[in-house]
Amino acid sequence: MAERVNQERRRQAIYGWLLLLPAATLLSIFAFYPTVATLWSSLFSRGTRRRPSEFVGTENYADLFADPTFWLVVQNNLLYAAITIPVSIGIALAMALWANSKIPARGFVRTAYFTPTVLPMIAAANLWLFFYTPGLGVLDQIGSLFGIPSINWLGQPETALWAVIIVTIWKEAGFFMIFYLAALQTIPEDLKEAADIEGASRWTYLRRIVLPLLMPTTLFIVVNAMINSVKLIDHLFILTKGGPSDASKLILYYIWEMAFAFFDAPHAAAMTIMILSVLCIVATIQFFYIDRRTHYQ
């Protein structure tokens, strides 16, 4: 009897490992191995034909911390994230609330909000060039009607990053709206009826019932928005290429530039490891602290 139980346990264990094998294989090939290889590469110097790479430990990380351009890029990325994340989420929530209400042509409104999301970022950036081009762009054409002089939105350090931020918000808000819209449709109508019976206002219903029930969705969107804030660089290639004077350069674009323009793979690997470390810390906080306080138990 005991032997039969042991055989059944072994059979179930083998069955479980077989189910995990495809995912584990893909993660090992496309996630774990590249991460380890990148970490290993970050510990070596840049090699040439005459001088092979050597083990330098954390010297590449020290070089980055001493590089003023690196800190400027980090500052740009922090500002980029601090603006795009809350603004795009707020707009997405407002759009979802409106698109979920009983309004005429509700399907058209939802489609219009979601349309920017289906556009590739390269296409979206090229579209926004028609707004930002000095003298010919839509913004300058509208400004000329009010006597406002032409502004080089993408060619000035004061406005370049903000122009990129606006494109990101326009692109991301519709994507986040879909998650909010799906979550709103799962809220039972009984709650709205009960709130109406109690005489609760729309604002009270939104603040006390809807927003708490949307917190798991909000947390999911915040995590995705944070990841997007360090991975979206397509529009930089079209709009600013990180300029002028590195005013709109973001961390992932700097990694690409370091690896493929300056051919400095070790420093690019070091920056990649730092980004992964920050994202791991954020994921840990989200899993062990925020997630437990977000869901109703």
Backbone φ and ψ of 86, nearest 5°: -70, -35
Segments forming the whole domain that contains residue 108: 68-294
CA 155 to chain CA mean position, Å: 25
Instruction: Specify the range with the lowest mean pLDDT, choosing from 44-53, 155-164, 204-213, 266-275.
Output: 44-53
pLDDT of residue 212 exceeding 60, the answer is: yes
In b/e form, how buried is each residue of 205-222, taking b as 16+ CB within 10 angstroms?
A: beeebbeebbeebbbbbb
Q: Does a structural domain hold residue 14?
A: no
In b/e form, how buried is each residue of 243-255, taking b as 16+ CB within 10 angstroms?
A: ebebbbbbbbbbb
pLDDT reported for residue 199: 81
Other beta carbons less than 10 A from residue 73's beta carbon:
24
Q: What is the pLDDT of residues 172-205, one digit of tens each?
A: 999 999 999 999 988 888 888 888 887 888 888 8
pLDDT reported for residue 86: 94
Tell if the pTM clears 0.85, that is, is over it: yes
pLDDT reported for residue 1: 65
pLDDT of residue 272 exceeding 90, the answer is: yes
Q: Does a structural domain hold residue 287?
A: yes
What does the mean pLDDT of the chain come to?
Answer: 87
Q: Does a structural domain hold residue 149?
A: yes
H-assigned helices in the chain: 2-27, 33-41, 59-65, 68-100, 106-118, 121-132, 138-145, 160-184, 189-197, 202-205, 211-213, 215-231, 234-239, 251-256, 265-285, 291-294
pLDDT reported for residue 177: 93
pLDDT of residue 37 exceeding 80, the answer is: yes
How many Å apart are CA 68 and CA 253, to the nearest integer? 16
Over range 249-259, report the average pLDDT.
92
Q: What is the pLDDT of residues 146-158, one digit of tens each?
A: 888 888 899 899 9
pLDDT of residue 291 exceeding 70, the answer is: no
Q: Does a structural domain hold residue 21?
A: no
Contact criterion met (CB below 8 Å) for 265 and 41 = yes
CA of 210: how far to CAs of 172, 207, 223, in Å? 22, 6, 20
Classify burial at 10, counting beta carbons within 10 Å of its beta carbon; exposed 0-12, middle 13-18, buried 19 or more: exposed
For position 156, which CATH number holds? 1.10.3720.10
Q: Does a structural domain hold residue 196?
A: yes
pLDDT reported for residue 297: 46
pLDDT reported for residue 2: 67
CA 25 to chain CA mean position, Å: 26
HSE-CB for 149 with a 13 A CA cutoff: 1
**Counted domains in the chain:** 1
pLDDT reported for residue 101: 81
Q: What is the pLDDT of residues 109-141, one digit of tens each?
A: 888 888 888 888 888 888 898 899 888 888 888
What is the residue-wise DSSP string for 268-287? HHHHHHHHHHHHHHHHHHII
Give the residue from 233, 220, 226 showing the smallest Cα distance to 279: 226
How many Å apart are CA 268 and CA 60, to the nearest integer? 9
pLDDT reported for residue 31: 85
| Alpha-carbon dihedral 272, 284, 78, 95, rounded to 10 degrees | 120
Confidence category of residue 292, pLDDT binned at 50, 70, 90: low
How many Å apart are CA 291 and CA 218, to the nearest integer? 11
Q: Does a structural domain hold residue 230?
A: yes
Find the radius of gyration of the CA atoms of the chain.
25
Q: Does a structural domain hold residue 61?
A: no
Helix 160-184 and helix 68-100, axial crossing angle in degrees, nearest 10: 40
Q: Does a structural domain hold residue 48?
A: no
